[in-house]
Amino acid sequence: MELLNKRPDDMARITTKELADAFIAEQVAEVRAQVGDKKVLLALSGGVDSSVVAALLIKAIGKQLVCVHVNHGLMRKGESEQVIELFKNGLDANLIYVDATDRFLDLLKDVSDPETKRKIIGGEFIKVFDEESSKLEGISFLAQGTIYPDIIESKGVKAHHNVGGLPEDMQMELVEPVRLLYKDEVRVVGEALGLPHDMVYRQPFPGPGLGVRCLGAITRDRLHALREADAILREEFDKSGLAGKVWQYFIAVPDMKSVGVRDGKRYEGWPAIIRAVNTTDAMTATIEEIPYELLHHITDRITHEVEGINRVLLDLTPKPIGTIEWE
């Protein structure tokens, strides 16, 4: 079946629940016509696009959709759990959860070069997904969360950028129900499908996940410290209302220690670096002015609650010259 890959000039921007509902009804019918009684496979990362596609396909074809969620061990705190809770328990999805943490972290051991780390994570992701899909029988379609900017900005860029790029030789017809939508429309459709607000408005998260924020060679203890410190930052941004206002915020932890003091004793630890930026297109970014009182509170919590962290730093660098991620 030949699917449209150019957004019709007269296609209205989906901004309301009514428009989203109409889009959903149309796509449900289109997907059913395309897929029939066959099975569809989807790599469900938990990001906005794949989550919306999953919810849409569950509505259209229920258990004919098989979702595979690969936990590469580099997710933010609670994210894989949220995927399972929402899709498996909430939407009764046919979801295969693969905890591949050890595989990824073993391969990444002692690897400090950022590009090599990215390649390892991307390559292993494809391998794990391939292994899982080869265990399944009768899959005829591959669903993807391709959105319109991916098509117009050249797919090549995103495929290289994203861990989610899938093997070329997967000979399956594609199901891409949100391929003509812009990001803001995907979010409106996600909410109309009943997905939680925090999932639909989730911050951009690099495919290689915390792997680009745990700088240098990843160790389990430093990765753990990063994840916990990041969770505190998110919690405090939620509580203070900054979460809905700041485009992207996270912690990076470099591979270096400094001397500190705790309980009257020398305490060597890593610094946690706060990065909070605003942007419209991620090409340039400005710094969010976080109130000092909140910064003190976050510092206090991170240094007291997170084993291994003895300083909190704030990154004041706009893009350019700093990129958003530290890598």
Q: Contact positions toward ligand XMP, by CB under 6 A?
A: 161-162, 204, 206-208, 248, 282, 319, 323-325
Query: What's the CA gap between 166 and 240, in Å, rounded?
Result: 39
| Closest to ligand XMP by CB, 177 or 207 | 207
Instruction: Residue 230: name the closest of 212, 250, 213 by CA.
Output: 250
Between 235 and 325, name the residue whose CB sits nearer to ligand XMP: 325
DSSP symbol at 203: P
Count of CA atoms in the C-beta half-sphere (13 A) of 188:
17
Minimum Å gap between C-beta 119 and ligand XMP is 11
* Smallest distance from ligand XMP to CB 125, Å: 11
Nearer to ligand XMP, 58 or 187 (CB): 187
Nearer to ligand XMP, 91 or 150 (CB): 150
Structure tokens at 217: 């060679």
Nearer of residues 164 and 308 to ligand XMP, judged by Cβ: 164
In angstroms, the CA 122 to CA 178 distance is 23
What is the closest distance, in whole angstroms, from the C-beta atom of residue 144 to ligand XMP in the complex? Answer: 13
Q: Which of 94, 91, 93 is nearest to 195 (CA)?
A: 91
Minimum CB–partner distance for residue 8 and ligand XMP (Å): 27
Q: Residue ranges of the alpha helices (H) in the chain?
A: 17-35, 48-61, 79-83, 101-108, 114-134, 148-152, 155-161, 183-192, 197-200, 220-240, 292-305
Q: How far is CA 248 from CA 183, 203, 232, 299, 306, in A?
A: 15, 6, 15, 19, 22
Q: Among residues 110 and 281, whose Cβ is nearest to ligand XMP? A: 281
CB of 183 to ligand XMP, least distance (A): 12
Return all residues near 179 (Cβ < 8 A) that are at least 6 apart: 3, 5, 146, 147, 148, 150, 151
Taking the complex as a whole, how short is the minimal distance between the CB of residue 230 and ligand XMP, in angstroms? 13
